[in-house]
Structure 1
Amino acid sequence: MKQRILIIGSGFAGMWAAVSAARVAHLQGNTNLEIAVLAPQPELRVRPRFYEANVSTLTADLQPLFAELNIRFIAGHAERVDSAESGVWYKTPESDSTFLSYDKLIIASGSRLHHFGIKGIAEHGFDIDQLDTAQRLEDHLNALASQPESAARNTVVVCGGGFTGIELATELPSRLKSLLGSDTNTKVVVVERGSQIGGRYSEALRKIISDASDELGIEWRLNAAVEVVDAGGVTLQDGSRIDAATVVWTAGVQASAFGENLTADRDNLGRFVVTEELQIPGYNNIYATGDMAHAKTDTLGNTALMTCQHAIQLGKFAGHNAAASLLGVEGLPYRQEFYVTCLDLGAWGAVYTEGWEQEVKMVREEAKKLKIAITNELIYPPKADRDVAFAAADPLAKFV
């Protein structure tokens, strides 16, 4: 009788977990291990690029790869883990409630944007967190030119000055000029709670973000927080007002609530605090990976971030360890000591740093070329070739 590894989610972590598990089974010559991916659709949505235009093209079909590696895809929406029965309840596309058993479960259900209860943001705001919401923003931006000329029409407020907010804000000036005309007086405003531009980053990186913002004409409102969003703009907690037809929320991400019935520690982002092998303590047949895992990257106290850079490697280790535990192969403690940042800064270029101390290595066009290579090639699924895919899925192979 076949054993089953069930993977929840087809994002970066889920897709790579499946390929990595298939690699271990192949290396062991095992044909009795079923690797199944449960997700709404058999595609990778390239979320790190959702700040770009033409968002509908930013997906990758996983069916050829899964077929090549004999990975089973199951269409559905995972709802609940039944750990006592070693199974998952999910809704099929026809809304039927179905139970699927597992021998090993890998939770790679990702994360969602958190609005923190801000009034009006759900009704009047936009975001680029998911494919459908990013498409909604793109459709809205494309329709601005048909609206009467006004300062509010020409203004976009980006709420949150983190990685996503910076990439979106720096992309917008040229995008708005393209949509509204090069002579249009457009404005992009970033509302940031912190006291510094790029306050989470190194001093060298902060300066580059600030310089790029100045050159691109981006206004920052620091020490500021959103009170309410309405159809005409945003009111800040200090009482000031920004009239804008477009308000985009980029602040705050929370791990998926899937698995919330498990008795396990979670961090303040909702991620499971996992072992070195990415198991959830107390559940030796359940792993968490990607944005669902609070995992130590090294012995220096660093923890994986909710980025595709970490999700890809977390997925490879989770898939390897789940398959290894079933096939009598030694597992691998998750390690990802090398950390880089490659931040797109729109028409200014980009900036590339290395190490947790974020030492700047490239800027402007040189960094932009690297950024394009990363987001257009490196993070995409491998081609549907067994040898190529398995070589890339090796957790110990060089990634970045």
Structure 2
Amino acid sequence: MKQQILVIGAGFGGMWSALSAARLVDLQGRADVEISVLAPQAELRVRPRFYEPNAHQLAAPLHELFEVVGVHFIKGAAETIDVAAKTVGYSDAAGIHQVFHYDKLVLASGSGLAQSGTPGVAQHAFDVDRIEAAIRLEAHLKSLKDLPHSQARNTVVVAGGGFTGIETATELPGRLREIFAEGADIKVIVIDRGLKIGASMGEEISKSIVEASEELGVEWRLGVSVQSVDAGGVTLSDGQRIEANTVIWTTGVRASSLTEQIPGERDKQGRLHVDAHLKVIGQDDIFATGDVAYAATDSLGNYALMTCQHAISLGRHAGNNVAAQLLGVDPTPYSQPKYVTCLDLGAWGAVYTEGWDRQVKLVRQEGKTLKTQINTQWIYPPAADRESALAAADPMIPVVA
């Protein structure tokens, strides 16, 4: 009977975990290990691009890729994890409850927009966290042109001035003018609790965000938060009222709730603490990767962020190491000392930085060219060719050189 490695999730962490585990099993010439991926769809949903238009195109199929490398795909949604029994309960494609017995588990179930307690958000706000949500937002934006002209129709409020909020807001002027007309009176307003534009991104990158915002006409309301959302707009914590038919919520993400079913320490975002091999601390047979793993990237006190840049490397290491444990070979400690940022700033361009202190290296069109390459090539799955796909899953390949 084959030993079973189960990967929950087919995002960046899950896909690369499965490929990397398959690579090591292949290198060891073993035929007694089966690798399965449990996820609602056999596709990589390219979440870093959901702020862009045409969201329905932002998913890459994985069926053929999994087939050529010998990974078994299970269509379903994981619901329960029984650590003692080493089982995962899930609903299959027909909605029928099933149970999978594993020998080793890789949790790669990702993250989602943190639930907000702000009144009206659930009923009236949009987001770009899931592909379905991004498609819903796009349909809404396109429908605005059929409404009578008003300031509210032409105003979009983006709640949150972090990475997603900035990329969403700076993309919106171009998207809205395509819908209305080039000369339309568009208002895009970012609401941020910070006292300085892009303060969380660092001093150097903040300058580019300010410059891009001014050039694109993106307004910022700083030092305030959204107090409530309704069908006609938002009320801010200082009492201001902004009339807007569109409110986009981008404030914060949290690890999948499946992490709560695994005994272990978690950080404030719900991520499980893992060791250098990405094994959940205190668990012998469970690894965590991607957005559910709180993992040190180096010896300087830096930890992986909830980004595809980190998820790709975390996935390659988790898959390799879960297979290594099963096969009795040496694992490869996770290390990802190089950190870069490439922030899209709409028609202005993009800004590329290196290091945890975000030293600016490229701006405007040079940055945009790199961002386009990252978004359309680097983060996509490898081709469905067995040899090249397995080679690409080597944990020693740097995500950024």
Q: Normalising by structure 2, what TM-score?
A: 0.99
Amino acid at match of 1:42: A
Q: Which residue of 2 aligns with 1:262?
A: 262
Q: Which residue of 2 aligns with 1:193?
A: 193
Q: Which residue of 1 aligns with 2:365?
A: 365
Moved more, 113-122 or 264-273: 113-122
Amino acid at match of 1:158: V
Q: Which residue of 2 aligns with 1:176?
A: 176
Q: Which residue of 1 aligns with 2:78?
A: 78
Q: Which residue of 2 aligns with 1:50?
A: 50
Alignment of 1:109-124 (within 5 A): 109-124=109-124
Equivalent residue pairs, number: 400
Distance 1:121 1:300 in 2: 38
Q: Secondary structure at the match of 1:260?
A: helix
Q: Which residue of 1 aligns with 2:316?
A: 316
Distance 2:34 2:200 in 1: 43
C-alpha contact (below 8 Å) 1:110/1:292 kept by paired residues: yes
Distance 2:118 2:201 in 1: 26
C-alpha contact (below 8 Å) 1:125/1:246 kept by paired residues: yes
Distance 1:118 1:45 in 2: 28
CA shift, 1:184, in A, is: 1.0
Per-residue deviation, residues 55-102 of structure 1 (Å, max 9, x unmatched): 000000001100100100001110111111111011112221111011
Distance 1:392 1:374 in 2: 16
CA shift, 1:392, in A, is: 1.3
Amino acid at match of 2:82: D
Per-residue deviation, residues 198-217 of structure 1 (Å, max 9, x unmatched): 11122110111111101111
CA shift, 1:398, in A, is: 2.5
Alignment of 1:64-75 (within 5 A): 64-75=64-75
Moved more, 90-99 or 44-53: 90-99
Q: Secondary structure at the match of 2:219?
A: strand
CA shift, 1:337, in A, is: 0.4
Distance 2:114 2:231 in 1: 20
Q: Secondary structure at the match of 2:285?
A: strand
Q: Which blocks of at least 5 consecutive residues in structure 2 are unaligned?
A: none
CA shift, 1:183, in A, is: 1.7
Q: Secondary structure at the match of 1:112?
A: strand
Per-residue deviation, residues 110-159 of structure 1 (Å, max 9, x unmatched): 00101321110111000000011111000000101000000000000000
C-alpha contact (below 8 Å) 2:259/2:292 kept by paired residues: no
CA shift, 1:262, in A, is: 2.2
Runs of 4+ in 1 over 4 A off after TM superposition: none
Q: Which blocks of at least 5 consecutive residues in structure 1 are unaligned?
A: none
Q: Which residue of 2 aligns with 1:393?
A: 393
Distance 1:163 1:348 in 2: 16
Amino acid at match of 1:177: R
Distance 2:183 2:190 in 1: 22
C-alpha contact (below 8 Å) 2:343/2:371 kept by paired residues: yes
Alignment of 1:22-61 (within 5 A): 22-61=22-61
Distance 1:254 1:221 in 2: 25
Distance 2:115 2:176 in 1: 25
Distance 1:131 1:58 in 2: 8
Q: Secondary structure at the match of 1:398?
A: coil
Q: Which residue of 2 aligns with 1:348?
A: 348
Amino acid at match of 2:181: G
Distance 1:235 1:185 in 2: 22
Identity rate, percent:
56
Q: Which residue of 2 aligns with 1:221?
A: 221
Amino acid at match of 1:264: G
Q: Which residue of 1 aligns with 2:302?
A: 302
Amino acid at match of 1:395: P
C-alpha contact (below 8 Å) 1:14/1:108 kept by paired residues: yes
C-alpha contact (below 8 Å) 1:278/1:334 kept by paired residues: yes
Distance 1:303 1:399 in 2: 16
CA RMSD of aligned residues (A): 0.7
Alignment of 1:146-165 (within 5 A): 146-165=146-165
Q: Normalising by structure 1, what TM-score?
A: 0.99
CA shift, 1:283, in A, is: 1.0
Distance 1:185 1:32 in 2: 64
Q: Secondary structure at the match of 2:142?
A: helix
C-alpha contact (below 8 Å) 2:259/2:271 kept by paired residues: no
Q: Which residue of 1 aligns with 2:5?
A: 5
Distance 2:220 2:395 in 1: 40
